[in-house]
Structure 1
């Protein structure tokens, strides 16, 4: 992949904004077993989705969130969703938290691993962001969103770093919800439930979800900052890309922005930022039996991960400053 030189600013021009939204949509075929759950839906449902803003790392997080909110005013979705690593729930982040919360009356939050950095707690996230609980269900029209918390401790295979686990208490709750919900379901988590760097007990969670494959339309996650889709036991798992950057790590530290920006926000040096903010609109269309994701294309600010010799856990084709414009017409086949 070839990097492109861009102006080192935190601003997004109207020309850039239009260019990044004018891409084809990715469409995932809803598993045949889940089609019956759509029968009660009278119209398409739209949800605006953004993940991994990392307000506490980026110098221009508020600008990226403003671009999301501006686009959502045009799209007019039925709800908006942020999938974690958003902004620690402190006073310094009130502006960006309020901007998201005031953008739509029907909003969903997911707690990411970095949202409790600097001594903040899940309880503070719940209170400050306006969540009902750390894991919960919420209706958007005829669709039930099941929001999970992948930050549980207690994993038998835990070794180091941030926990990535869904404990037994939450598993029992999930099984109960899957049994009682009658209509279509979308599962949301910050950490992946399938694919690379999934939660420690991913296979257990996949088995639980597979019992409701006749109702689950898709499972969404952030966290990885990649653009990918996997299918496990009749369920589509979609990794949505970060709004801001790909994490490259201190081994590849470099200056992508002007030195004064890096000095004020030193962790940016461990990222490969995206020139434009990434987010998507997910549309569930019962008439066409499709879930579509609006594609969005950006460019690297400075050097790309490949320019720097990236050697991490992700396939290179998934490391990209974009949300794909793919179309999957049949299971396992792509247009």
Structure 2
């Protein structure tokens, strides 16, 4: 039997994936060696967005009732992958005609989300607070704050809330226009202080987009991006709201807009993903259905 250390050096010297495949076919030892050498992510997070669940007929391309079946399919995937976190990037529920009905819809969809593996984090979306207040929505998803930060596996996560009008008034009870999204000065100040104290790489979670100037963008996004870039710690921003895959890099930060689950009819018209963050700053996104996959290598120290 070849000592493990020698086998490892031989494999690294050969550098051949074909030889590795042949070794795996012949013996489990080569596969075990590969597993030992493969870097392990610091944290693994499932991400879904824009579920817009509602017990009402479809409107245009949005098939509200089908969200339950789409989420059930995603649940099967996440039960296998066992992510550390489950993140919902906003618009978990669509607007109802009454507060009581909205609370029932929210309870129904959150029951399904809560059953998924990993701790849960919900970003506030504009549809979440069209009928409800922020306090009512947060109570429904067992969450205390609309914006906050937390650490898992050496990664610092920041949850932002852009559901404010330009005059600083919080969204709630249909008192806003969907394209007037802002992050108030107090939250920007909190963000700057939080990032200054953050240890390790940072991932930001948002609903409205921070990388565009159109109706789907946060009005003071440039100000917020300056804070993110100034910290020198932010690897990526994951966001929803515009329902389509999009990816931009601004100031060395990846801005990934994730595809909506509600769009289209049938199982193939869905999207969900698994995000893995590595110690060297690399991030891998494995997308399912309509969600695109990405593989972002670590940045060199000179970048």
Tell me the TM-score normalised to structure 2 length.
0.72
Q: Shift of the alpha carbon at 1:238? A: 0.7
For residues 147-193 of structure 1, the C-alpha deviation after alignment (integer angstroms, 9 at most, x for no partner) is 0001112259xx95443110101111111101111221111110011
Residues 1:229 and 1:329: Cα distance change in structure 2 (over 3 Å): same
Whether 1:212 aligns to 2:231 is: yes
Equivalent position to 2:278, from 277, 285, 289: 285
Whether 1:200 aligns to 2:219 is: yes
Residues 1:192 and 1:155: Cα distance change in structure 2 (over 3 Å): farther
Equivalent position to 1:108, from 121, 127, 148: 121
Q: How many aligned residue pairs are there?
A: 237
Q: Shift of the alpha carbon at 1:286? A: 2.2
Equivalent position to 1:243, from 242, 261, 267: 261
- What residue in structure 1 maps to residue 44 of structure 2? 46
For residues 44-103 of structure 1, the C-alpha deviation after alignment (integer angstroms, 9 at most, x for no partner) is 321000000110261211111211222110111111100010026612332221111132
> 1:155 and 1:221 mapped to 2: Cα distance?
23
Secondary structure of the corresponding residue to residue 111 of structure 1: coil
> 1:274 and 1:244 mapped to 2: Cα distance?
10
Pick 1 or 2: higher relative contact order, CA cutoff 8 A, min separation 6.
Answer: 1
Residues 1:141 and 1:330: Cα distance change in structure 2 (over 3 Å): closer
Do the aligned partners of 1:188 and 1:220 also contact (CA within 8 Å) in 2? Answer: yes
For residues 6-56 of structure 1, the C-alpha deviation after alignment (integer angstroms, 9 at most, x for no partner) is xxxxxxxxxxxxxxxxxxxxxxxxxxxxxxxxxxx9743210000001102
Equivalent position to 1:99, from 112, 116, 129: 112
Do the aligned partners of 1:67 and 1:277 also contact (CA within 8 Å) in 2? Answer: no
> 1:72 and 1:129 mapped to 2: Cα distance?
19
Secondary structure of the corresponding residue to residue 161 of structure 2: coil
Whether 1:137 aligns to 2:156 is: no
Equivalent position to 1:226, from 244, 267, 281: 244
Equivalent position to 1:191, from 208, 221, 224: 208
- What residue in structure 1 maps to residue 197 of structure 2? 180
Equivalent position to 2:181, from 164, 169, 174: 164
> 2:79 and 2:132 mapped to 1: Cα distance?
31
Do the aligned partners of 2:247 and 2:254 also contact (CA within 8 Å) in 1? Answer: yes
Whether 1:123 aligns to 2:121 is: no
Secondary structure of the corresponding residue to residue 295 of structure 1: strand
Residues 1:296 and 1:196: Cα distance change in structure 2 (over 3 Å): farther
> 2:224 and 2:193 mapped to 1: Cα distance?
13
- What residue in structure 2 maps to residue 323 of structure 1? 291
Secondary structure of the corresponding residue to residue 166 of structure 2: coil
Alignment of 1:29-108 (within 5 A): 43-56=41-54, 58-87=64-93, 90-108=103-121
> 2:108 and 2:256 mapped to 1: Cα distance?
29
Tell me the TM-score normalised to structure 1 length.
0.65
Q: Shift of the alpha carbon at 1:203? A: 0.7
Do the aligned partners of 2:42 and 2:154 also contact (CA within 8 Å) in 1? Answer: no
- What residue in structure 2 maps to residue 147 of structure 1? 159
